[in-house]
């Protein structure tokens, strides 16, 4: 058997401890499959004395994690610290700069600095892998970059954040409101103490930007992902969606068009109404799913646990096995110089059906004002439901409208016309129907 692949772990939290457990338990099988043993030689975290439920006494220790990349007994550094910048980025730069391999689960860092890191990897002939950064244990990066490599990918979309999916499916099954379910998700460990990145869609946007670059061969452009979270969704929206034959899911969706020789990349994270017979409607709880539509493969669906120590460690070690085998494609499937620049697509001409929810004052003329704005903007209404509070003049009334298919720009125009209207008690909520 060939030489051992010697690895260093930076970060010994949920994922780091999972990697230690996985290599210990499946070491023999992994060595057979990789063609060589994979062994940890050194580790780093903030607190050396902390009990992590795993034995780290046999590994070298570095207080300063960047020192891991300078060690002679390390071939690959595994970064499991997190954060888009700071120590994780410093470690990634020194690791690749010194020609060592980098495996990371850090979607924030790759979304913000992926091109720079991929360039460093190329310049120093070093491996860079990030399977665990997207959808936990699901081999979405490998599936897209290798399994579907023969296809032109038409569209990629999916459920990329387990916290949001847990909250939405709990709201759906219990009828409870957002804040209530979020509190429970935090108590159960499905949501962070500061849940902003998850519930406002930022985490899903990090992942979508990586998938889009890989799928379309475009330069990574996290800043261009149009992002809306789930914090404004009410139990009443879920009930209305259900009555119409839909469930609500936070979806990340990207496609790429060529117009007059210029590539336009559409990237959006937003809550969508998903028909109950669509495969993504059945994805509930903290599960993730990624759909890729290839021009020869057809629709490919990857589904599984989007987080957790076991699934995420499984993805990290899959990357290590690839490096041990010498299977090291460019991080975004193409050399960085071959990734095409793209302009953000203007969503105004995209044709969709939309769900619009208004909270309105309970007085005559309000519905006429809304429908007039729709008519003037060229939006055709398919159905409208009004949900009032009997004998309650003080609370706003919920009006839910579903439009016929039409350009998104028309809906935007109608909402602009209604801006500032005294009839509206809150900013309208818009969700597209996944077609
Ligand atoms: N958890 C998941 O299910 C999951 C899924 C997919 C991807 N990821 C990604 O995996 C990465 C790690 O996540 P995690 O959940 O394992 O995080 P975590 O449990 O918070 O662990 C982070 C580790 O990094 C160490 N650390 C933090 N700041 C440090 C510093 N300045 N210097 C040295 N060590 C430092 C901590 O040390 P101490 O332990 O000593 O405090 C801890 O061991 C993140 O990028 C995350 O986005 C996580």
In a domain, 185, yes or no: yes
Backbone angles phi, psi at 304, to 5 degrees: 170, -170
* pLDDT, tens only, 102-142: 999 999 999 999 999 999 999 999 999 999 999 999 999 99
Average pLDDT over residues 319-337: 96
DSSP secondary structure string, 332-352?
BSB-GGGSBP-EEPPGGG-EE
Residues 128 and 158 in one domain: no
Mutate to test the pocket of ligand 1, among 8, 14, 86 (most ligand atoms within 8 A of CB): 14
pLDDT reported for residue 251:
98
Task: Residue 81: give the domain boundaries.
Answer: 5-133
* pLDDT, tens only, 37-65: 999 999 999 999 999 999 999 999 999 99
* pLDDT, tens only, 199-223: 999 999 999 999 999 999 999 999 9
- Does any ligand 1 atom lie closer than 6 A to the CB of residue 48? no
Answer yes or no: are the C-beta atoms of 314 and 19 closer than 8 Å: no
Average pLDDT over residues 290-319: 96
Mutate to test the pocket of ligand 1, among 13, 63, 165 (most ligand atoms within 8 A of CB): 13
Q: What is the CATH number of the domain that holds 392?
A: 3.30.70.260
Q: Which atom of ligand 1 is found nearest the CA of 109? A: 45
pLDDT reported for residue 348:
92
**Position 188 pLDDT exceeds 90:** no
Residues 283 and 380 in one domain: no
Residues 153 and 89 in one domain: no
pLDDT reported for residue 62:
98
Mean pLDDT of the chain: 95
**Position 260 pLDDT exceeds 90:** no
pLDDT reported for residue 390:
53
Residues 207 and 283 in one domain: yes
User: Percent of the chain, pLDDT > 70?
Assistant: 98
CA distance 223 to 211: 14
User: Percent of the chain, pLDDT > 90?
Assistant: 91
Q: What is the CATH number of the domain that holds 67?
A: 3.40.50.720
Q: Which atom of ligand 1 is found nearest the CA of 309? A: 3
What is the 21 CA–ligand 1 centroid distance (Å)? 16
In total, how many domains does the chain have? 3
**Position 1 pLDDT exceeds 90:** no
Residue whose CA is at the smallest distance from ligand 1 atom 44 = 82
**Position 392 pLDDT exceeds 70:** no
- Does any ligand 1 atom lie closer than 6 A to the CB of residue 50? yes
What is the 16 CA–ligand 1 centroid distance (Å)? 7
Considering only CA atoms, which of 79, 110, 103, 95 is closest in space to residue 13? Answer: 79
pLDDT reported for residue 333:
94
pLDDT reported for residue 259:
81
Residue whose CA is at the smallest distance from ligand 1 atom 31 = 87
Residues 123 and 162 in one domain: no
Residues 210 and 182 in one domain: yes
- Does any ligand 1 atom lie closer than 6 A to the CB of residue 288? no
69: which 2 tokens? Answer: 């990349």
Residues 150 and 294 in one domain: yes
Answer yes or no: are the C-beta atoms of 362 and 388 closer than 8 Å: yes
**Position 391 pLDDT exceeds 80:** no
Instruction: Give the catalytic positions in this structure.
Output: 207
What is the 10 CA–ligand 1 centroid distance (Å)? 8
Beta strands in 200-286 (DSSP E): 226-227, 246-259, 262-275
């Amino acid at each position: 058997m060939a030489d051992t692949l010697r690895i260093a772990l930076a970060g010994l939290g949920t994922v780091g401890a999972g990697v230690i457990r996985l290599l210990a338990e499946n070491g023999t099988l992994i060595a057979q499959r990789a063609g060589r043993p994979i062994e940890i030689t050194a580790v780093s975290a903030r607190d050396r004395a902390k009990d992590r439920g795993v034995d780290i006494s046999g590994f070298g220790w570095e207080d300063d994690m960047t020192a891991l990349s300078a060690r002679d007994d390390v071939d690959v550094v595994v970064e499991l610290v997190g954060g888009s910048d700071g120590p994780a980025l410093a470690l990634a730069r020194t690791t690749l700069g010194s020609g060592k391999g980098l495996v990371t689960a850090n979607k924030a860092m790759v979304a913000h600095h992926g091109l720079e890191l991929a360039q460093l990897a190329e310049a120093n002939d070093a491996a860079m892998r990030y399977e665990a950064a997207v959808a936990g244990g699901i081999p979405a990066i490998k599936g897209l970059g290798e399994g579907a490599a023969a296809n032109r990918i038409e569209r990629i979309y999916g459920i990329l954040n387990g916290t949001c999916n847990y909250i939405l499916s709990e709201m759906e099954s219990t009828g409870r409101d957002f804040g209530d379910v979020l509190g429970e998700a935090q108590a159960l460990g499905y949501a962070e103490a500061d849940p902003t990145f998850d519930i406002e869609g930022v985490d899903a946007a990090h992942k979508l930007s990586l998938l889009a670059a890989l799928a379309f061969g475009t330069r990574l452009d996290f800043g261009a992902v149009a992002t809306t979270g789930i914090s404004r969704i009410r139990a009443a929206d879920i009930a209305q969606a259900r009555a119409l034959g839909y469930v609500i899911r936070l979806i990340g969706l990207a496609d790429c068009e060529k117009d007059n020789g210029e590539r336009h990349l559409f990237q959006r994270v937003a809550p969508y109404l998903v028909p109950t017979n669509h495969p993504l409607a059945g994805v509930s709880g903290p599960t993730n799913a990624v759909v890729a539509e290839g021009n020869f493969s057809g629709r490919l669906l990857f589904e599984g646990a989007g987080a957790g120590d076991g699934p995420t460690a499984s993805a990290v070690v899959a990357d290590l096995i690839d490096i041990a085998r010498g299977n090291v494609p460019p991080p975004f499937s193409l050399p960085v110089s071959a990734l095409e620049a793209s302009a953000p697509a203007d969503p105004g001409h995209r044709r969709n059906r939309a769900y619009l929810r208004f909270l309105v004052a309970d007085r005559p003329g309000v519905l006429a004002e809304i429908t007039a704005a729709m008519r003037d903007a060229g939006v055709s209404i398919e159905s409208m439901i009004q949900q009032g509070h009997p004998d309650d003049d003080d609370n706003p009334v919920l009006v839910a409208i579903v439009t016929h298919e039409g350009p998104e720009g028309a809906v935007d125009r109608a909402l602009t016309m209604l801006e500032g209207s005294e009839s509206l008690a809150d900013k309208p909520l818009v969700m597209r129907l996944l077609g």
